[in-house]
Amino acid sequence: LILIVAPAVWYFIFDFSDMPTGDGVLGSLFQAVTPRTAGFNTYDLNKLSSSSKAIMIFLMLVGGSPSSTAGGMKTTTLAVLTLNALSTFKKKENAEIFDRRIDNSVIKNAATVFAMYCSLFFVGGVAICSIEGFSLSDCLFETASAVGTVGLTLGITPELGIASQLILVVLMFLGRVGGLTFVYATIVEKRRSGAKYPLEKITVG
């Protein structure tokens, strides 16, 4: 609900305020929903403000919920990482929700998916920007749409060369298959031994 209402309010204030109220509300809600689900385009996205495009990139990367046809890293991934961060701030040993503890393996999986999607999105955008010469923000928008399997575009994709289009194809494939599915399918699990390495604490942040 937050991922719908908050972006919709933002779009209405900064991008659709010059429309009649009814049209503005509908347009804002549609633009808040479509990056995470359908990918339909009813508005020239180039007319959006830079901040609104950034929000749309975030929504495309997050995607929908598990077991749905939507792409992205999934809402549960974002929720698990947020709950884990809150538990750290509160100095709790485990992340908790609805009187239940979240298993550490779930948090590891969520962190892995988050890192993979962000890496693919950023590296792909930088690569296309270097090859084609378009602005980095436009290239990142295209790669977010590709890895989230959304379908939205700022109109530069038809102008891309073969190499850049292949990058988008790879991103769409990896985004559709899913980060963990790809990792489990390509990496051979090592045999577990009874011995464990000594525990080491590393300073972060």
pLDDT in tens, the chain (205 residues): 788 899 999 989 988 888 888 888 988 888 888 888 777 877 888 888 899 999 999 999 998 888 777 778 888 899 999 999 999 888 888 888 888 888 888 888 889 889 989 999 999 999 999 999 899 999 999 999 999 888 889 989 889 999 999 999 999 988 888 666 766 666 666 666 667 778 888 877 7
Give a yes or no: residue 199 inside a domain.
Answer: no
Give a yes or no: residue 77 inside a domain.
Answer: yes
What's the total number of domains in the chain? 1
- Would you tell me how many other CB atoms lie within 10 Å of the CB of residue 176? 14
Q: What pLDDT is attached to residue 191?
A: 66
Q: What pLDDT is attached to residue 42?
A: 78
Q: What pLDDT is attached to residue 190?
A: 64
Element (DSSP H or E) covering residue 35: none
Q: What pLDDT is attached to residue 96?
A: 85
Give a yes or no: residue 196 inside a domain.
Answer: no
Tell me the two tokens of residue 53. Answer: 């495009």
Calpha distance 189→34 (Å, rounded): 38
Q: What pLDDT is attached to residue 124?
A: 95
| Residue 155 CA: distances (Å) to CA of 46, 62, 139 | 8, 22, 11
Q: What pLDDT is attached to residue 64?
A: 83
Q: Which domain holds residue 159?
A: 2-186
Give a yes or no: residue 192 inside a domain.
Answer: no
Give a yes or no: residue 197 inside a domain.
Answer: no
Residue listed under structure tokens 């992340």: 95
Give a yes or no: residue 8 inside a domain.
Answer: yes
Calpha distance 54→49 (Å, rounded): 9
Q: Which of 82, 45, 47 is closest to 60 using CA atoms?
A: 45
Pairing mode, strands 96-97 and 100-101: antiparallel
Q: Which of 18, 48, 22, 23 is closest to 35 using CA atoms?
A: 48
* DSSP helix/strand/coil, 101: strand
